[in-house]
Amino acid sequence: MKKVAVVIGRFQPLHKGHVYAIKKAIEKFEKVIIVVGSTNEKNTFKNPFSFKERKEMLRRVFGKKIKIIGIPDMPENRKWVKELLKKVNFDVAISGGPRTQKCFNGIKKVLKPDFLRPKIYKGTRIRKKMAKGEKWEHLVPKEVAEYLKKIKAEERMRKLI
């Protein structure tokens, strides 16, 4: 029997590596739920986009095919896990973050995502390119690039760096 998986990430911004990993998860599991982390963070260089903006990026790429939920950062790992488990029932967590992997130790199975070229498709790298006025559009899906231009993401990055 296939299981329910959550794909956990910050998606700052959603890039082609994320999309590849989510599509791979959709192939492997009966149901995939996207968990957008750090929902209490926005307008910083590390977390420039709000939960609403990141949800919109995901919707533009995946439509209604996936369920999207958000969860804030919490100082205690166990509280964070407890909060997530209140929101969604799942069998497997998929996350590339070492802290997230540690959070579920002994509670849920955690898999590393199937990332596409992680050195190239990396949120920090994309945000730096945006701030410097370098080409970044090829690193994100077309729908996301259009949306980021619409919300003036490059200007935001230049102010936040």
- Domain covering 4-160, topology: Rossmann fold (3.40.50)
Domain ranges of the chain: 4-160
Evaluate the omega torsion of the peptide bond into residue 13 and state whether it is cis, within 30 degrees of 0: yes
Report how far residue 5's alpha carbon sits from residue 29's, in angstroms, rounded to the nearest whole number.
6
pLDDT in tens, 61-114: 999 889 999 999 999 988 999 999 999 999 999 998 888 888 998 899 999 998
Percent of the chain whose predicted confidence (pLDDT) is above 90:
84
